[in-house]
Amino acid sequence: MSVNPPSLDAPLQVPGFRIGTASCGVKSADLKGKRTDLTMIVADVDCHVAASFTQNRLRAACVDLGEQTVQQHGQNIRAIVANSGNANAGTGVREGEWAQMMITSAAKALRVFPEQVLSASTGVIGTPFPIDRIVEGLEEAASTESDWQAAANAIRTTDTFAKYASRSVGDFTITGISKGSGMIHPNMATMLAFIATDFPINQTELQAVLKRVVNLSFNSISVDGDTSTNDTVYVLSSGLGLGHEAVENTTAFEAALTELCIELAQLIVRDGEGVSKFVTIHVEGASSTDEARHVARCIAVSPLVKTAFAGSDANWGRIIAAAGNAGVAFEAGDISLRCDDVVMMESGNLHADYRDADGMAVFAQAEFSITLNIAMGNASATVWTGDFTHEYITINAEYRT
């Protein structure tokens, strides 16, 4: 089940990057050759990298290693390698050894240094990592010529479609892939996104841009309700032929990267497990953007709200109660609420013209928006979320049984 999965344009090639994929049977040996589960994004030149990692206290070893590499060698990155089918997490000391072996083997196959390789894993937590099959797969992937669509396919776990997007900025290209996740894909919990560009920008600036972009995109879907042990976003910039200092205005680059990441993030929500609705939550009139986003998230993750969405039930009392639960100061007597253009509350009172049937008609749609004004200031934020359906319970309660 997914909500209006768009027919995606083919992703644009990014000059200076090539892709390798393989099918090595990560999840189980008998899947070898049947579905791709290993991907490599390889740069011809040293790239500057920006990264965003899970805030969860329990992080997989590949995340810890990746963070170290970004800090120490973040201007010399040559490759990202990623597998689906096993998160290589929750198994203690061995996971660190396996993660390091994956990187060393990839470096050897690609003839670069291990400190130039970033890795990511996604799949079941707590299952031993099949490092022998991974090493074989890395050798195979290094010798293939694949493409971004294939890469997006190879990082899928329970995703029902491959997720990719591209943007052009002047003569430059940005292409990204994503998978997952989060609250919506709990068992295969990881959200991953890998983005490559030839836009010239140095690491410090790229990291600052990514931080703002992630807040407006991947941190604005209901993933945050349950961060996983492996969530990772990497952006590689090759600056191919022009080096790593900006020769163009980065404003246009940031705008394009924001659009691209919002598109990749929304694709994750549209492909959420069991999701039958795609709902946009706007919170406006807040004292700060952070407070607006926090209230919007509290609405987006509330099981009460998500089941009302699933039932096409305009039970708006649940929405304001979830907002009131956010711990953000506002006055009940001042708030206004509408869904699409139907006003439910105005300045704390039931709107005189509101009819339940009008709200129900909006909630019956596959896509709609909720707008809450908390009348405390001028800041606003938008979050995208799905609903909680029977299929969600089926997938997550019966996954292993």
For the CB of residue 100, give the shortest distance to a copy of itself in the complex, in Å. Answer: 16
The answer to whether the bond into 181 is cis (omega within 30° of 0) is: yes
Distance of CA 395 to the CA centre of its chain: 20
CB 32 within 8 A of CB 140: no
Find the shortest distance in angstroms from Cβ 350 to a copy of itself.
Answer: 5
CB of 128 to a copy of itself, least distance (A): 8
Find the shortest distance in angstroms from Cβ 389 to a copy of itself.
7
Residue whose CB is less far from a copy of itself, 231 or 271:
231
In the bound state with a copy of itself, the residue whose beta carbon lies nearer, of 205 and 273, is 273
- What residues have CB less than 8 Å from 208, skipping those under 6 apart? none
Which one, 36 or 91, has the nearer CB to a copy of itself? 91
| Euclidean distance between CA atoms 197 and 47, whole angstroms | 9
Distance CA(45)–CA(124), nearest Å, equals 34
Choose between 18 and 351: whose C-beta lies nearer to a copy of itself: 351
Question: CA 171 from chain center: how many Å?
Answer: 27
Q: Which helix (H) or strand (E) holds 84?
A: strand 77-86
Catalytic pick among 39, 122, 190, 197: 190
CB nearer to a copy of itself: give 229 or 380: 229
Minimum distance of a copy of itself from residue 337's CB (angstroms): 10
Query: What is the C-alpha to C-alpha distance for residues 327 and 40, in angstroms, rounded to an integer?
Result: 43
Beta bridge partners of 174: 167, 197
The residue among 264, 265, 243 whose CA lies nearest residue 174 is 264
Residues that bind a copy of itself (CB under 8 A): 55-59, 87, 89-94, 124-126, 183, 186-187, 189, 225-229, 302-304, 307-308, 310-313, 315-318, 320-330, 332-333, 335, 345, 347-350, 388-390, 392-394, 396-401
Q: Which strands sit side by side in the sheet containing 278-286, from one edge to the other?
A: 349-350, 342-346, 336-339, 367-373, 278-286, 379-385
Residue 332 C-beta: closest distance to a copy of itself, Å = 5
Is position 104 annotated as part of the catalytic site? no
Name the E strands within 92-224.
117-124, 163-169, 172-179, 192-197
In the complex with a copy of itself, the residue whose CB is nearer, 125 or 235, is 125
Which residues are annotated as catalytic?
A: 190
